Amino acid sequence: MSKTVLPDHMTDLLSPVAVKDPYMYFGKYREISPVVWNPQWKGWIFTSNATVREGLAGDTMTSDRITRFEDQLTSRAGGDQNADIIYRTMVQWIVYATPPRHTHLRLLLSKPFSPRAVKNQKAVVETIIAELLDELEQKIKNKPGPVDLLREYAAQVPARVISRLMGIPDQDAAKLGHWSEELTLLILGAMGAEDRHSRAKEAFIELENYVRKMVAARRKNPGTDLVSDWVAARDSNVGLTEEELISSCILVIFGGHETTMNLIANSLLAVHQHPAARQALIEGSVDSAMAVEEFLRFCGPTRSILRDVAKDHEVAGQTLRAGERALFVLAAANQDPGAFEDPGTLKLDRSPNRHIAFGTGIHQCLGAPLARLEAQVAIPEFVRRFPGYRVLTEDPEWQPLLMTRGLKALPTEVL
Ligand code: HEM
């Protein structure tokens, strides 16, 4: 039996240096061992491209990391009935499901996210982004001064796109964004936020009420939107339960918001820091699809994902036991020198670029074609509209989140 254990001074996953530069921080883990035990976090940390891929794609790990929290997340813990709502919803999420339930759900939910469906959504996305850029330009004309690009632009893109695809009025898009941000506190591991449970619970209750009303309205009056599609899947008796339908709507609102917002904001910061990339985007001399793949690799929004060990096994000379937990650091896998040439350099025309910013294996992101489309329009169009934009800090603050690589704000002079 073998276990390589990190030294004490390297165990704080949210230390200032780990939050500021996870690539360098987890690179040091990789140098010790690509799979290593963190005694403070009490779990295995995977940091090489090969071990992350293998662990996510194989059958040694399980995604069901929710049922064991049943006691903690339900009224059994402290008699709080409302706590149940979080567990009841999350336990239905495809992202925690295991086969065969996962296979069944994926089939039922995937229609609106197929590459073909997304191709048809291109015009909608282009219109929304043109509208958002017009609104931003007008806002700056009316009130000159710095803006927070994270909230004023990056967050607006997914909120408005998913709202329109779900048939939700634009004026409610901001509410969806707010609820998503509150849920992030709980789900994506904000270790420091003391009030995270109560805030996330409130957001959950409001969001669930909103979604239930929306589903009822679409049932009465179906449209051509994603929710009507899923209501039809539910009502045609193919096996999507009412709870799965409601929970999946919540997952899509939440899952697509933070991630896409952070991809856009992280990329606009990277462009600010790399003048050659800015020039290439302004001139249109780089393919936007290729550029987005490189942004996903270089500064993608998913820092890491969680699994539980499903069965005893050995990997990279370590002995893992069923029931232990594991953190797969996508940020490290995507900048592993064993898999990418010059991994710390932003090369917008990088080829090949086999990053795993959307995960890999059966849970690989369902919304990836939509996220790619949004980023391929939102990033180059912003740079072309405001070619001289300037981020007002050289040392921006990052969210101290275990699973997310995202900024607290992106104060910018938009020119
Ligand atoms: C840049 C944007 C995005 C990134 C980086 C991203 C990343 C990911 C990752 C890493 C996973 C795998 C999680 C795991 O294995 O535990 C995932 C799953 C998922 N994502 Fe995304 N995501 C993005 C946008 C979206 C969007 C826009 C949607 C929907 C509107 C979405 C819906 C989902 C769903 C439903 C799953 C679960 C799939 C399954 O379990 O089979 N994501 N995403």
329 within a domain of the structure (yes/no): no
pLDDT band at 196 (very low <50, low <70, confident <90, very high): low
346 within a domain of the structure (yes/no): no
The parent domain of residue 379 ranges over 69-299+355-413
Give the distance from CA 178 to its chain's centroid: 16
User: Which residue's CA is the closest to the ligand 1 atom numbered 21?
Assistant: 365
Q: Are strands 43-46 and 325-328 parallel, antiparallel or unpaired?
A: parallel
* Percent residues over pLDDT 70 in the chain: 93
Q: Give the nearest ligand 1 atom to 330 CA.
A: 10
Q: Give the nearest ligand 1 atom to 109 CA.
A: 35
Q: Is the pLDDT of residue 78 over 60?
A: no
315 within a domain of the structure (yes/no): no
Looking at residues 118-134, what average pLDDT do you find? 95
Q: Give the nearest ligand 1 atom to 356 CA.
A: 10
Higher pLDDT, 104 or 374: 374
Question: Which of 336, 398, 331 is CA-nearest to residue 359?
Answer: 331
User: Which residue's CA is the closest to the ligand 1 atom numbered 27?
Assistant: 256
User: Which residue's CA is the closest to the ligand 1 atom numbered 6?
Assistant: 358
Question: Which of 389, 393, 394 is CA-nearest to residue 413?
Answer: 389
Q: Give the nearest ligand 1 atom to 301 CA.
A: 5
236 within a domain of the structure (yes/no): yes
97 within a domain of the structure (yes/no): yes
> What is the structure's pLDDT at 203?
85
User: Which residue's CA is the closest to the ligand 1 atom numbered 24?
Assistant: 256
Q: Is the pLDDT of residue 73 over 70?
A: no
Pocket flag, ligand 1, residue 251 (CB < 6 Å)? yes
Q: Give the nearest ligand 1 atom to 357 CA.
A: 5
Residue with tokens 């939509």: 370
* Percent residues over pLDDT 90 in the chain: 71
Q: Do 6 and 36 form a contact (C-beta atoms < 8 A)?
A: yes
Going from the Cα of 165 to the center of ligand 1, the distance in angstroms, rounded, reads: 17
Q: Is the pLDDT of residue 186 over 80?
A: no
23 within a domain of the structure (yes/no): no
Going from the Cα of 138 to the center of ligand 1, the distance in angstroms, rounded, reads: 33
pLDDT band at 10 (very low <50, low <70, confident <90, very high): very high
Q: Using CA atoms of 99, 100, 105, 110 in order, give the dihedral in degrees to the nearest 10.
A: 80
What pTM was estimated for this model as a whole? 0.95
Continuous H helices in 110-168: 115-120, 122-142, 149, 156-166
Q: How far apart are CA 342 and CA 317, in angstroms?
A: 27
Q: Do 332 and 22 form a contact (C-beta atoms < 8 A)?
A: yes
Q: Give the nearest ligand 1 atom to 102 CA.
A: 41
Pocket flag, ligand 1, residue 371 (CB < 6 Å)? yes
344 within a domain of the structure (yes/no): no
How would you classify residue 385: left for phi > 0, otherwise alpha for psi between -120 and 50, otherwise beta?
alpha
Number of domains in the chain: 1
Q: Is the pLDDT of residue 80 over 70?
A: no
User: Which residue's CA is the closest to the ligand 1 atom numbered 9?
Assistant: 358
314 within a domain of the structure (yes/no): no
Q: Is the pLDDT of residue 116 over 60?
A: yes
Top mutation candidate among 53, 109, 259, 267 for ligand 1, by most atoms within 8 Å of CB = 259
Looking at residues 76-92, what average pLDDT do you find? 69
Q: List the structure tokens of 231.
A: 């209501």
What residues are paired with 325 via a beta bridge? 43, 308
Q: List the structure tokens of 203.
A: 């957001």
- 123 to 29, 130, 135: CA distances (angstroms): 44, 11, 18
Top mutation candidate among 176, 294, 365, 405 for ligand 1, by most atoms within 8 Å of CB = 365
Higher pLDDT, 277 or 415: 277
Question: Which of 275, 276, 326, 270 is CA-nearest to residue 297?
Answer: 270
377: domain CATH number?
Answer: 1.10.630.10
Residues 6+ apart with CB under 8 A from 343: 23, 334, 335, 336, 337
Mind giving me the DSSP string for 248-286?
HHHHHHHHHHHHHHHHHHHHHHHHHH-HHHHHHHHHT-S
Mind giving me the DSSP string for 16-82?
HHHHH-HHHHHHHHHHH-SEEEETTTTEEEE-SHHHHHHHHHSSSEES--SGGGHHHHSHHHHS-TT
Pocket flag, ligand 1, residue 365 (CB < 6 Å)? yes
Q: Are strands 35-38 and 318-320 parallel, antiparallel or unpaired?
A: unpaired
Residues 6+ apart with CB under 8 A from 273: 391
